[in-house]
Chain A
């Protein structure tokens, strides 16, 4: 049927060429996305070898270890293992809190930049991205030096007489949170900026004209209209925060591990348990996919409007 149209005949003639043109994309997705994820999936079901590495033998041991204290295969009924779920939980609320803080600071920042005269906006945006010219590891280590007990922050506060003794910030959840917030703030600012820049400020005037107060206007008009930017920014902060390992490792110490630290330890550290690391990574990936799925659904619903 479609072949009756000459243009379709033409495009059919180009079909092999189109396959070749698609090849780089498919190769990229295959090598750098599907293959590693599949490899992880397979590894997570293998048996641990003593010094890192794996034995090619199917095993549910890693998932069992993550979720359950007494295994499915013992004599007694299974019992939930809370250690790793606890780490996961800490990761989730640290990432959630980082997202919230980034939103609270990033939204006004983005608003401020988007409402400057067009000539000066790029300067503000440049200032926001400047820290990104420095490697994340170096920035995180610098943060460690800033907030340690005899670091400049504590010394300044003591010199000013605010504190008598150093206030311990290093190796706490607070330090991890500070690291996450600082690392990912621009990921919140930039998408919100893009949304606010497109915002029609006549809507704010229209709301005021129709008797809305400033807060009501913000809540009922501004936030819903720039919502796609807020959601994009939140995902860009939440997802990498959830899997972060630099901030918890360097600023949080051993007691404040997040899921990223746990995975890192399985592959690189003393634990050396690749199947378990792979299993934890798969659990993390599943959680991230669920979050992204919820986002995608909310987007289609917004698109249907």
Chain B
């Protein structure tokens, strides 16, 4: 993990500089549907690498192109332009049934007339494996997914969570070079979803298979992935570890989509290219890290948990309202010039000073918590 972390620090704008083996290389992929006036761009110049043995997540809102990209890797869609390579081999010439890739489909797509065991063994059967080999492998997969007792059942006799495991076991059984997962947890209830996150990650580490996981759920992405590619409107926004995209979002979209943040307009009043000096509401100036690119104004991001609310805070503010969330409380405050901000305070602390709506207080934050964003 440590090594991986260091390597991925060199990621910038989808161009990955890495020394580890590449499982998937996506090179200049464009995809559009329709033509002429009805032409819709689904993918716009996607470049990214997935490393061997990595849990890689494509994250973005619905319609961002992440599923299209997954279907291109699987072979169900073709590229309009560009190339997809699997361990250095071009995939374009290979039909879906010739690619050493298996998929866990969004609604599982289990064969309704086959038993669980027959579903799991289907891929091996198609590869022409012997019956004893299939039986052994099916048993192993059912054990891995804790489905031993369900082997003879039909998919319709299983719960959603069990069906999800069958889909996973079926896709893992042929030991693919790459496993694609298309929002596999979205149909499960919250508790099961949390449990499956841990199991999926564990299975990925046990099997050593490279996973490409598609989701719109940032919690899922942050909790499981070695690296995440954030996508929006057919474009790659940022690639990095969970920590990187959370702590150092490259642009406004990523900062806003991943977690909660305060986005505040600021003027750039000096400093250098890489350490600009910004002035925010109330005339407070501070030196921050980030690329200003010569612009006069910029958007800055401060996470709610990086702000302290106190009676002697540096920037005076008025408390608007409180949202109690169990583990913590969100304070919606307004700065002197009317700029709204959200401050997160953990509940149950010994010095829990209560603020009520209408109270005057002050907010303080470390300049290091501020990120200047490309808009």
Q: Which of B76, B127, B156 contacts A205 (CB 8 A)?
A: B76
Task: Answer whether residue A211 sits at the interface, using C-beta atoms and an 8 A cutoff.
Answer: yes
A305 to B126, Cβ gap below 8 A?
Answer: no
26 contacting pairs across A/B (C-beta < 8 A): A202-B109, A205-B74, A205-B76, A205-B96, A205-B109, A206-B103, A206-B111, A207-B111, A208-B75, A208-B97, A209-B74, A209-B96, A210-B122, A210-B126, A210-B170, A210-B174, A211-B97, A211-B98, A211-B123, A211-B127, A211-B174, A212-B97, A213-B97, A224-B113, A305-B113, A305-B156
Task: Answer whether residue B107 sits at the interface, using C-beta atoms and an 8 A cutoff.
Answer: yes
- Nearest-neighbour CB distance to chain B for A228, whole angstroms, equals 11
A216 to B126, Cβ gap below 8 A?
Answer: yes
Chain B 42-74 near chain A by CB (<8 Å), digits 1 or 0? 000000000000000000000000000000001
Task: Answer whether residue A200 sits at the interface, using C-beta atoms and an 8 A cutoff.
Answer: yes
Chain B 222-260 near chain A by CB (<8 Å), digits 1 or 0? 000000000000000000000000000000000000000
| Distance A210 CA – B156 CA, assembled complex (angstroms) | 21
- Nearest-neighbour CB distance to chain B for A198, whole angstroms, equals 11
Q: Which 10 A-B pairs have the closest CB atoms?
A: A210-B123, A202-B109, A211-B126, A206-B109, A208-B96, A208-B97, A224-B113, A209-B103, A212-B126, A211-B97
| Distance A225 CA – B8 CA, assembled complex (angstroms) | 47
Is the interface on chain B under 10, 10 to 19, 20 to 34, or 35 or more residues? Answer: 20 to 34
Q: Chain A residues near B75: list those with CB within 8 A.
A: 208
Closest residue of chain B to A204 (Cβ to Cβ) is: B109
Task: Answer whether residue A203 sits at the interface, using C-beta atoms and an 8 A cutoff.
Answer: yes
Most chain-B CB neighbours within 10 Å: which of A200, A206, A221?
A: A206
Closest residue of chain A to B127 (Cβ to Cβ) is: A211
Known: A202-B109, A210-B123. 16 other contacts (CB 8 A): A200-B109, A205-B76, A205-B105, A206-B103, A206-B110, A207-B122, A209-B171, A210-B97, A210-B102, A210-B122, A211-B98, A211-B126, A211-B127, A216-B126, A224-B113, A225-B111
Closest residue of chain A to B180 (Cβ to Cβ) is: A209
Chain A 214-243 near chain B by CB (<8 Å), digits 1 or 0? 001000010011000000000000000000
Give A residues with C-beta under 8 Å from B. Answer: 200, 202-203, 205-213, 216, 221, 224-225, 305
| Distance A285 CA – B63 CA, assembled complex (angstroms) | 58
Q: Chain B residues near A210: list those with CB within 8 A.
A: 97, 102, 122-123, 126, 170, 174
Task: Answer whether residue B112 sits at the interface, using C-beta atoms and an 8 A cutoff.
Answer: yes
Q: Which of A203, A211, A305 contacts B154 (CB 8 A)?
A: A305
Q: Chain B residues near A209: list those with CB within 8 A.
A: 74, 96-97, 101-103, 171
Q: Which of B95, B111, B127, B154 contacts A208 (CB 8 A)?
A: B95
| Distance A204 CA – B191 CA, assembled complex (angstroms) | 31
| Distance A221 CA – B113 CA, assembled complex (angstroms) | 8
Q: Chain B residues near A203: list those with CB within 8 A.
A: 109, 111
Q: Which of B149-200 contact A (CB under 8 A)?
A: 154, 156, 170-171, 174
Closest residue of chain B to A209 (Cβ to Cβ) is: B103
Closest residue of chain B to A203 (Cβ to Cβ) is: B109
- Nearest-neighbour CB distance to chain B for A115, whole angstroms, equals 15
Give B residues with C-beta under 8 Å from A. Answer: 74-76, 95-98, 101-103, 105, 107, 109-113, 122-123, 126-127, 154, 156, 170-171, 174
Q: Chain A residues near B156: list those with CB within 8 A.
A: 305
Q: Chain B residues near A221: list those with CB within 8 A.
A: 111
Q: Chain A residues near B107: list those with CB within 8 A.
A: 200, 202
Q: Chain A residues near B98: list those with CB within 8 A.
A: 211
| Distance A189 CA – B154 CA, assembled complex (angstroms) | 29
Most chain-B CB neighbours within 10 Å: which of A208, A209, A224, A225?
A: A209
Q: Chain A residues near B95: list those with CB within 8 A.
A: 208
B109 to A225, Cβ gap below 8 A?
Answer: no
A206 to B113, Cβ gap below 8 A?
Answer: no
| Distance A224 CA – B113 CA, assembled complex (angstroms) | 7
Closest residue of chain B to A206 (Cβ to Cβ) is: B109
| Distance A205 CA – B104 CA, assembled complex (angstroms) | 11
Q: Chain B residues near A216: list those with CB within 8 A.
A: 126
| Distance A212 CA – B95 CA, assembled complex (angstroms) | 11
Closest residue of chain B to A211 (Cβ to Cβ) is: B126
| Distance A222 CA – B122 CA, assembled complex (angstroms) | 14
| Distance A209 CA – B109 CA, assembled complex (angstroms) | 11
Q: Chain A residues near B154: list those with CB within 8 A.
A: 305
- Nearest-neighbour CB distance to chain B for A258, whole angstroms, equals 36
Q: A208-B95, A208-B96, A212-B97 are in contact. Are A225 and B112 (CB under 8 A)?
A: yes
| Distance A267 CA – B89 CA, assembled complex (angstroms) | 76
Q: Chain A residues near B170: list those with CB within 8 A.
A: 210
Q: Chain B residues near A225: list those with CB within 8 A.
A: 111-113
Q: Chain A residues near B74: list those with CB within 8 A.
A: 205, 209
B105 to A202, Cβ gap below 8 A?
Answer: yes
| Distance A209 CA – B119 CA, assembled complex (angstroms) | 13
- Nearest-neighbour CB distance to chain B for A69, whole angstroms, equals 48
- Nearest-neighbour CB distance to chain A for B38, whole angstroms, equals 14
Most chain-A CB neighbours within 10 Å: which of B75, B103, B156?
A: B103
Most chain-B CB neighbours within 10 Å: which of A208, A211, A221, A224?
A: A211
- Nearest-neighbour CB distance to chain B for A58, whole angstroms, equals 51
Closest residue of chain B to A214 (Cβ to Cβ) is: B97
Q: Chain B residues near A200: list those with CB within 8 A.
A: 107, 109
| Distance A209 CA – B107 CA, assembled complex (angstroms) | 15
Q: Chain A residues near B112: list those with CB within 8 A.
A: 225
| Distance A211 CA – B124 CA, assembled complex (angstroms) | 8
| Distance A305 CA – B152 CA, assembled complex (angstroms) | 11
| Distance A225 CA – B105 CA, assembled complex (angstroms) | 18
- Nearest-neighbour CB distance to chain B for A77, whole angstroms, equals 51
Q: Chain B residues near A213: list those with CB within 8 A.
A: 97
| Distance A221 CA – B111 CA, assembled complex (angstroms) | 7
| Distance A206 CA – B170 CA, assembled complex (angstroms) | 10
Q: Chain B residues near A305: list those with CB within 8 A.
A: 113, 154, 156
Closest residue of chain A to B170 (Cβ to Cβ) is: A210
- Nearest-neighbour CB distance to chain A for B111, whole angstroms, equals 6
Closest residue of chain A to B95 (Cβ to Cβ) is: A208
